[in-house]
Amino acid sequence: MTGSTPLLSARNIHKAFTIRQSALGRAREVVHAVNDVSLDIAPGSTLGIVGESGSGKSTLGRVCLRMVEADRGQIRFGDADLRAMPAGQLRRTRSHMTTIFQDPYSALDPQWTVGRIIEEPLRINGSGGRAERHQMIADILPLVGLSADAIHRVPRSFSGGQRQRIVIARALVTRPKLVFCDEPVSALDVSTRAQVLGLLRELQREFDLAYLFVSHDLGVVERMSDRIAVMYLGSIVEIGAADRVAQGYRHPYTAALVSASPAPDPLAQRARNRVVLNGDPPSPVDIPAGCPFHPRCALAIARCATDKPELVMGADGHGVACHVTNADLALTGDGLLDSVLAGRKPAVERTIS
């Protein structure tokens, strides 16, 4: 990693939600969404977070932007301590960290015109007068590929891809430094996806934006990110440069995730050695002791059921949380895949309930 200060720095974040309480107010069912996660985002770069449902990736993003309060941990945005910030300063800071949401059909107030929608963040922060705001809106529309007459129209008259462009315009009109992209293309068609992702990359270059890019689609994350973090049940199991994680992965779960990413190439797909996990992803209400992945892991040893592995960072910036692969550094990529496929039965049988 470069020596420069990260734009966003999170340390030891914990977040749990209580979803059911007994009559006496004691917590009955607790969702441990994020468990001891630390990460850094360098200015102008993209950190991709990939994981399936229940991995905690969306919660992590919201916690990092303080849209949801963390239970424990430290978050620094630039020089400032985000968690300790007073309300007024926090509101001003929000113009520097914005969000692009997943569902373009729900992210825009159906009663508002596009102009008013994009103006909202500018009004909240009270920067400049009406004329200045209108100019900023007029400036950003062509940058996201919308025509100037869009200002007077309502969201209903736009397609999904166009609505997402409006969401992007709203997120960028305050010229933020960090944009949290929460599954920004998952709700779009394949052909529209490519366009919107292309737009995001272009805008990143143009405005030197940092992205916190959350998605369940490894192909998309790899395409968009400089670094990738793989999450499973609230913990980061692997983190490193994008191509290293996608091809030279070192965690058995990453191997399964890569295997599950469909290759649109029939011969390659059929010739592929793939890992298909058994059982269903366990829920974050009931996180196994030790390594959260061990019940489904073919390489699990006795230690995996009792000690949660630390995320051990190598000198090259590639970190893995796995007792087995940290002990045998040769297990990466295809070699790891073969080991998993040939793997022994796990030492502890655990029925997936």
Partner 1 sequence: MNWMMRTGGAAPALPTAEQAEPALLVEALQIGLVGARAVTPVVTGLDLSLARQEVLGLVGESGSGKSLTSLAIARLLDTRSVRVLHGSVRLFGRDLLACSEAEMRAVRGKDIGMIFQDPMTSLDPAFTTGYQLTSVIRRHTAVDKQAARRRAVELLGLVGIGDPRRRIDQYPHQLSGGMRQRVMIAMAIACEPRVLIADEPTTALDATTQAQILELIKNLARTLRMSTIITTHDLGVIAEVCDTVAVMYAGQIVEHATTEQIFYHPQHPYTERLLLSLPRVGVEQEMLGIPGAPPRAGDFPPGCRFAPRCEYVTKPQCVANPVPLKQLDAARGSRCVRSEQLTLQGVRT
Partner 2 sequence: MTLQEISIAPAAGLSEARRVGTLHAFGRRRLAVAAVVVFVLIVLAALLAPVLGLHNPNTQALTDRLRGPSWNHLLGTDELGRDQLARILAATKISLWASCQATVVGVVLGVPIGLAMGLVGGRADSVISRAFDSLQSIPPLILAIAIVAIVGRNLTPAMIAIGIVFSPTFYRVSRAAASTIAGETYIEASRSMGQRTYKIVLAHVLGNASSALIVQVSTTFAFGILAEAALSYLGLGVQPPSASLGSMLTSAANLLNSSPQLTVEPGVVIIVLVLCVSLVGDALRDVSAGELR
With a CB cutoff of 8 Å and minimum separation 6, the contacts of 251 are: 230, 237, 238, 293, 320, 321, 322, 325
348 by DSSP, 3-state: which?
coil
> For residues 108 and 242, which CB has a smaller minimum distance to partner 2 in the complex?
108
Residue 286's binding partner among partner 1, partner 2, none (Cβ under 5 to 8 angstroms by kind) is: none
Binding-site size, partner 2 (CB under 8 A): 31
Of 28-36, 110-118, 274-282, 327-335, the window that binds partner 2 (rule: CB under 8 A) is 110-118
Q: Are 115 and 151 in contact (CB under 8 A)?
A: yes
Calculate the dihedral angle through the C-alpha atoms of 53, 59, 65, 68, rounding to the nearest 10 degrees: 150
Of 12-20, 119-127, 242-250, 306-314, the window that binds partner 1 (rule: CB under 8 A) is 242-250
Residues 167-206 that bind partner 2 (CB under 8 A): 167, 170
- Interaction of residue 233 with partner 1, rule CB under 8 A: no
State the Cα–Cα distance between residues 64 and 62, nearest whole angstrom: 5
- Interaction of residue 90 with partner 2, rule CB under 8 A: yes
Q: How far is the CB of 156 from partner 1 (least distance, A)?
A: 13
Question: Which tokens go with 52?
Answer: 């399936």
> Which member of 62, 177, 193, 251 binds partner 1 (CB under 8 A)?
193
State the Cα–Cα distance between residues 235 and 321, nearest whole angstrom: 9
> For residues 25 and 129, which CB has a smaller minimum distance to partner 2 in the complex?
25
Question: Which tokens go with 175?
Answer: 């010229």
Q: How far is the CB of 270 from partner 1 (least distance, A)?
A: 6
Pairing of strands 97-100, 178-182: parallel
State the Cα–Cα distance between residues 145 and 142, nearest whole angstrom: 5
Stretch 142-171: interaction string toward partner 2, x if CB under 8 A: ----------xxx-xx---------x--x-
State the Cα–Cα distance between residues 265 and 86, nearest whole angstrom: 53
- Interaction of residue 191 with partner 1, rule CB under 8 A: yes
- Interaction of residue 157 with partner 1, rule CB under 8 A: no
Residue 34: strand pairing partners: 15
Report CA 46 to chain centroid distance, whole Å: 10
Residues 217-256 that bind partner 2 (CB under 8 A): none
Amino acid at 157: S
- Interaction of residue 115 with partner 1, rule CB under 8 A: no
State the Cα–Cα distance between residues 220 and 133, nearest whole angstrom: 34
Question: Which tokens go with 147?
Answer: 């025509």
- Interaction of residue 265 with partner 1, rule CB under 8 A: yes
The secondary structure element, H or E, covering residue 33 is strand 27-41
Of 19-27, 103-111, 120-128, 335-343, the window that binds partner 1 (rule: CB under 8 A) is 335-343
Q: Are 145 and 109 in contact (CB under 8 A)?
A: no
Stretch 7-46: interaction string toward partner 1, x if CB under 8 A: ----------------------------------------
Amino acid at 279: G
> Which member of 46, 102, 164, 326 binds partner 2 (CB under 8 A)?
102
State the Cα–Cα distance between residues 234 and 57, nearest whole angstrom: 7
The secondary structure element, H or E, covering residue 46 is strand 46-50
Residue 135's binding partner among partner 2, partner 1, none (Cβ under 5 to 8 angstroms by kind) is: none
Residue 95's binding partner among partner 2, partner 1, none (Cβ under 5 to 8 angstroms by kind) is: partner 2
- Interaction of residue 298 with partner 1, rule CB under 8 A: yes
Q: How far is the CB of 87 from partner 2 (least distance, A)?
A: 9
| Residues engaged in binding partner 1 (CB under 8 A) | 52-53, 159-162, 189-198, 216-220, 222-223, 243, 246-247, 256-281, 283, 296, 298, 340-341, 343, 345-346, 351-352
| Residues engaged in binding partner 2 (CB under 8 A) | 65, 67, 90-92, 94-95, 98-99, 101-103, 105-112, 120-121, 124-125, 152-154, 156-157, 167, 170
